[in-house]
């Protein structure tokens, strides 16, 4: 029995909203779904598992019609879905009453339910979120019958406010495979047969690294699965160390030669090092170096402390510098020193 496990597609989300490529990013989430549907069709997949947060928020009726017609097109492959915290099943959601195709099994109950798939000798267990926050460890005390069928758990969560998950407890429950959603980075526990597949496309600038889905097989030899990359975009953090002579234009030119111009890469730039005390780096100038989602300035002002101490030998500034600029000063003291000097000194110091 061959399966594809996906989750956290967040259809309808708008990553990089306000940036010039935002429309492309929104479309990329739908493209990821189309890629998975194509993989099901072309690779002879029997079962498509969607472990929550299929939609970023309550789906629209027309969106459900859209996905349902694609699900219908991959029959006889079976599809099992649960709702996660983002697309949780509130009473007014069209999720609750949608007439799905016969090969689609939506586990809409708020308590453990199952989809029995006799043609695949498989039972998929799971339930849906009906509210965005669930603090109870609802997956901690499960066990499956030894009835000769394959048992899969479809589940969503893994942090304190979205069903805390203990891997040890899950591993003991006896599932052939546990298909998890909610965590956007892929995390595979091959021996335990448990995995978070991660989102197939990164959702925002904190979603660093590659994204994809899981393809697996359950048979007499047990369950084997691997992660398959499919994302169009990839967010990459880049740190730039500046010096007191650096300017915004220089940083932009340096980045132009350093960043891969392939539009799939989206960069998050972090500036570190020391700058002229009155230097303000212009983010818009730096951004022109490529597809840069943000520029975070963590530079420290390069004060000439000896000169300042001499010039201010009769006031608070010199005492402040002596107090904080000790050879054993840590990062916190250095920061306090820079912030303190910014506050104490007139703007043209
Ligand atoms: Mn989630």
Whether 142 and 119 map to the same domain: the answer is: yes
CA–CA dist 193, 184 (Å, integer): 18
Whether 223 and 238 map to the same domain: the answer is: no
Phi and psi dihedrals of 63, rounded to 5? -70, -40
- Domain end position, chosen among 229, 263, 297: 229
Vertex 201 angle, CA 196 and 203, to 5°: 95
Say what the pTM is.
0.87
Per-residue pLDDT at 348 exceeds 80: no
Per-residue pLDDT at 95 exceeds 60: yes
Distance 10 CA to ligand 1 centre (A): 9
**Are 230 and 36 spatial neighbours (Cβ–Cβ below 8 Å)?**
yes
Distance 337 CA to ligand 1 centre (A): 41
Q: What sign has the CA pseudo-torsion 310, 311, 315, 320? A: negative
Q: Is residue 304 part of a domain?
A: yes
290 confidence band (pLDDT: 50, 70, 90): very high
325 confidence band (pLDDT: 50, 70, 90): confident
Number of domains in the chain: 2
Whether 151 and 280 map to the same domain: the answer is: no
Whether 185 and 78 map to the same domain: the answer is: yes
Q: Is residue 334 part of a domain?
A: yes
Q: What sign has the CA pseudo-torsion 91, 93, 94, 100? A: negative
Distance 324 CA to ligand 1 centre (A): 45
Distance 236 CA to ligand 1 centre (A): 23
Whether 244 and 225 map to the same domain: the answer is: no
Q: Say which residue, 93 or 293, is predicted with more confidence.
A: 293
- Domain end position, chosen among 229, 248, 266: 229
Whether 244 and 223 map to the same domain: the answer is: no
CATH of the domain at 56: 3.60.21.10
294's CB contacts (< 8 A; 6+ apart) are: 205, 268, 269, 283
Distance 14 CA to ligand 1 centre (A): 16
Q: Is residue 251 part of a domain?
A: yes
Whether 94 and 186 map to the same domain: the answer is: yes
pLDDT at residue 7, as a whole number: 98
pLDDT tens, position by position, 102-161: 999 999 999 999 999 999 999 999 999 999 999 999 999 999 998 999 999 999 999 999
Q: Is residue 166 part of a domain?
A: yes
Whether 255 and 206 map to the same domain: the answer is: no
Whether 31 and 161 map to the same domain: the answer is: yes
Per-residue pLDDT at 349 exceeds 80: no
- Which residues line ion ligand 1, judged by CB < 5 Å? 53, 84-85, 182
Helices 331-344 and 316-324, packing angle to 10 deg: 170
pLDDT tens, position by position, 333-347: 888 888 898 888 876
Distance 218 CA to ligand 1 centre (A): 26
Whether 206 and 114 map to the same domain: the answer is: yes
Q: Is residue 246 part of a domain?
A: yes
Whether 197 and 239 map to the same domain: the answer is: no
pLDDT tens, position by position, 18-57: 999 999 999 999 999 999 999 999 999 999 999 999 999 9
**DSSP-derived secondary structure letter, 287:** H
Distance 181 CA to ligand 1 centre (A): 7
Distance 198 CA to ligand 1 centre (A): 10
Whether 129 and 14 map to the same domain: the answer is: yes
pLDDT at residue 176, as a whole number: 97
Q: What Å distances lie between residue 190 and 7, 11, 214, 243, CA to CA?
A: 18, 28, 12, 46
Average pLDDT, the chain: 94
Q: What sign has the CA pseudo-torsion 9, 24, 58, 204? A: positive
Distance 60 CA to ligand 1 centre (A): 18
Q: Is residue 349 part of a domain?
A: no
Distance 283 CA to ligand 1 centre (A): 32
- Domain end position, chosen among 229, 259, 290: 229
Lowest pLDDT segment from 52-56, 201-205, 277-281: 277-281
For residue 207, the tally of other CB atoms under 10 A from its CB is 20
- Least Cα distance to 74 among 102, 52, 51 occurs for 102
Residue 329 is part of which domain span?
A: 234-344
């Amino acid at each position: 029995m061959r399966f594809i496990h996906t989750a956290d597609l967040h259809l309808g989300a708008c990553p990089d909203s306000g940036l010039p490529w935002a429309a492309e990013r929104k479309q990329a989430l739908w493209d990821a779904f189309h890629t998975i549907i194509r993989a099901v069709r072309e690779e002879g997949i029997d079962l498509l598992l969607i472990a929550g947060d299929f939609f970023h928020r309550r789906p629209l009726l027309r969106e459900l019609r859209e996905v349902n017609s694609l699900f219908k097109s991959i029959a006889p492959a079976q599809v099992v879905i649960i709702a996660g915290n983002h697309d949780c099943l509130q009473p007014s959601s069209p999720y609750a009453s949608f007439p799905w195709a016969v090969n689609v099994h939506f586990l809409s109950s708020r308590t453990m339910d199952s989809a029995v798939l006799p043609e695949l000798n498989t039972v998929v267990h799971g339930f849906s979120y009906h509210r965005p926050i669930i603090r109870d460890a609802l997956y901690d005390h499960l066990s499956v019958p030894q009835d000769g069928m394959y048992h899969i758990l479809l589940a969503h969560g893994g942090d304190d406010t979205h069903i805390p998950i203990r891997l040890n407890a899950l591993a003991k429950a006896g599932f052939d495979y546990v298909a998890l959603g909610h965590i956007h980075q892929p995390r595979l526990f091959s021996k335990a047969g448990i995995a978070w597949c991660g989102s197939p496309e990164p959702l925002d600038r904190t979603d660093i690294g590659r994204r994809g889905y899981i393809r697996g097989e359950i048979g007499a030899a047990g369950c084997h699965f691997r992660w398959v990359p499919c994302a169009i975009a990839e967010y990459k953090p880049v740190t730039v160390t500046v010096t007191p002579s650096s300017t915004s234009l220089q940083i932009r030119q340096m980045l132009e030669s350093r960043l891969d111009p392939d539009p799939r890469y989206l960069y998050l730039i972090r500036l570190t090092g020391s700058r002229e005390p009155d230097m303000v780096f212009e983010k818009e100038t730096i951004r022109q170096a490529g597809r840069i989602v943000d520029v975070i300035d963590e530079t420290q002002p390069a004060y000439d402390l000896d000169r300042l101490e001499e010039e201010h030998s009769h006031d608070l500034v010199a005492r402040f510098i002596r107090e904080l600029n000790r050879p054993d000063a840590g990062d916190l003291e250095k920061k306090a020193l820079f912030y303190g000097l910014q506050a104490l000194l007139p703007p043209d110091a």
